[in-house]
Structure 1
């Protein structure tokens, strides 16, 4: 991009629909059908979606989408901005356009009160430069259906339902609270999932008329692809293991995606199973002070004050030295302090490592061993014991 070219970043909607879809199709190597284009058109005029474009001489050169979500973090609901659709025409790559768009997006999310952001990375190292850090891992199983546990009688019943059945949402809501990182799905997002998997079957497991689990899946060419297995308790999980095994007359292989803490290998009769454990989404705290106000640390019989230095190259409002005051109930606040304040030692870490620590994907002590957290060992240890631990996971994609 030469100095003579006019450059601007601005929001856009339906006015640049054709240009935006053309860039998406090129960048992600997939043409959209007329039905898909019709569904996409609705989103370009919907308030849950915000689009920023980098324009060079009036031409859309690069783009970033923000989807406005809510997410569960240690049982609390947070406003979250989901980054998606990051794409650039080849002639404009390596000119800093996406960097400027991401910086604009972080500022916008902070103004919208979105204290966290998620994205699925094409490159972890690239997004780490902007403060995002690994959120979770996801297991993908692939196995012979004959490896499933022997079919057993179950106490409840299975029932096929439509995608908009309220029992699905009830089960999901209970399951989502068990993991940090899950979306709080609204009606719009339930509809989006259906659009992506229109041919899927939805089956609910009930005991005494209480919905306890559901599975969304498809069978094609003797392969069962389980899009989602969501359950309230482990008995319901095992009931679906038996249900999957009942497909042995029509299915040879099963593919199943689960959180990293799933223990399917231990419940299979013959665990000859391919398991792919891979990094999945990344997360970023957008506004540290507002995030901490909502965060719930572990309750103890005392209060704690930790001097905390947070480094954030992309968000000046986070790039501060703070006193982190946590009361005995776990409520906390941050108070900015002057750099030359001599009162006590400090714990120093980047916004990305702070995100990983507070989400529970790694601990302060682990990161301190590799000098990703620096500072006073006693303060690091005190703060470590105040941070709750919960498995991180997100079962969605955007």
Structure 2
């Protein structure tokens, strides 16, 4: 058994594994392997010359706490049935984490099928979305204030602008540009979806949606103002002869629930979406911009079973708004695993929650220090591949 990057002539083998393990449509899989697949970002398990397991490391820039980081989004983790149970997933994940560390990437993201599979590798829950399930008749009272029209490639710069405006107050989102949206158009098309824009005095909103039998799924509903949102909700209602209900996925701080005529007729739930992981803890901490004038030192024991450089006791000192880190044989003030550190680094939890989730009594010195470094924010990400 050998773990390595894919070769030029192995694309079809890797697609066969993907087709066996996932229920994607042929059109979507065609799109993915023609447009997004990259052998240089594909890790495989080679058993006696046969590719039996693979994953891909799709590259993005993620905006985390005001800074952009190159990050690998782990997708397509798949293994053929005849070799399941041999520990190949553990082997391929170990190799991947080592490679990400060597590539000097500080963080990574992953959308899990089952959270339990990936927690053992240090990935932890860091993103939620709100999911609305709405009877489409509940939207009939909204008024249209502009026009809706099918988006084209001429609208790419408007989509980027709306995206940046809508997500200005959320954390952890992906940097999108015109090329991103050009690819997204093709992805949505491959799944039979639609992209429409709203225009009043300006182009101030867009919607990405899919029609599935008598249900509509809205993947993104982004807007610059409430009138734009109301117009697009009316646009959804105008499908009432085709659809009985609509599911809308939104950021955790979305405003739809505040303007529904009767929210009790809708189901509104929090949907876990994405996991995150710190790959290089020391470099991540040193890269932070600290606003506080606090000068203090604490010792933290970190448990990371897969990246040895993250594992141990770290003396972390704050002076002149910068952190210095020293690893050594120190007595520690508190102990966290890399999962908790990842949730703090992604701003998904605050320091008090870190103590609660680890069943620890709060240490005032540690809490004060870490609260100057980590703060809880509203996270949002909506990438599927």
Q: Give TM-score scaled by structure 2 length.
A: 0.88
Compared CA separation, residues 256 and 213, structure 1 to 2 (3 A): same
Root-mean-square deviation (Å): 2.7
CA contact (8 A) 1:71 1:79 kept: yes
d(CA) in 1 for partners of 2:58 and 2:90?
18
SS at match of 2:26: coil
Provide the rounded CA distance (Å) in 2 between the counterparts of 1:338 and 1:75.
31
Please name the residue that 2:150 is paired with.
160
CA contact (8 A) 2:134 2:246 kept: yes
> Quick check: 1:280 aligned with 2:270?
no
Alpha-carbon distance change, 370 to 250 in structure 1, aligned in 2, over 3 angstroms? closer
For residue 151 of structure 1, give the secondary structure of its aligned residue in structure 2: coil
Q: Does residue 113 in structure 1 map to residue 104 in structure 2? A: yes
> Does structure 1 residue 336 correspond to structure 2 residue 326?
yes
Over 3 Å counting, the alpha-carbon distance change for 1:188 and 1:104 in structure 2 is farther
1:323 aligns with 2:318: no
Matched, 1:353 2:313: no
Aligned pairs, number: 381
The aligned residue for residue 292 of structure 2 is: 300
Inter-partner Cα distance in structure 2 for 1:65 and 1:353: 25
Whether 1:389 and 2:376 are equivalent positions in the alignment is yes
How far, CA to CA, are the matches of 2:114 and 2:216 in structure 1? Answer: 30
Q: What are the superposed Cα offsets for residues 288-344 of structure 1, whole Å, 9 maximum, x if unpaired?
A: 1222233344x234334332222111001111322323356xx5334123214x5xx
**Partner of 1:205 in structure 2?**
198
Q: Distance in 2 between matches of 1:95 and 1:203?
A: 47
Shift of residue 124 of structure 1? 0.9
Cα distance change on mapping 1:178 and 1:233 into 2, 3 Å: farther
Query: Residue 72 of structure 1: SS of its match in structure 2?
Result: strand
Match status 1:268 vs 2:254? no
Q: Is the 8 A contact 2:156 2:182 kept in 1?
A: no
Contact 1:14 1:45 in 2 (8 A): no
TM-aligned CA deviation for residue 60 of structure 1: 0.9
Alpha-carbon contact 2:57-2:72 (below 8 Å) kept: yes
Deviation at residue 152 of structure 1 after TM alignment: 3.1
Match of 1:73 in 2: 64
Unaligned runs of 5+ in 1: 1-6
User: Superposed, which structure 2 residues align to 1:13-32 within 5 Å?
Assistant: 13-30=7-24, 32=26
Query: Aligned equivalents of 2:297 and 2:226: distance in 1?
Result: 40
The residue aligned with 2:85 is 94
Counterpart position of 2:6: 12
Structure 2 vs 1, CA of residues 23 and 366 (structure 1 numbering), >3 Å: closer, same or farther?
same
Against the structure 1 CA distance between its residues 218 and 128, is the aligned structure 2 distance closer, same or farther, given a 3 Å change threshold? Answer: closer
What is the CA distance between 1:390 and its match in structure 2?
1.5
Q: Flag the 1:374–1:91 CA change in 2: closer, same or farther, 3 A.
A: farther
Query: Which residue of 2 is the match for residue 254 of structure 1?
Result: 246
Q: Does 1:123 align with 2:114?
A: yes
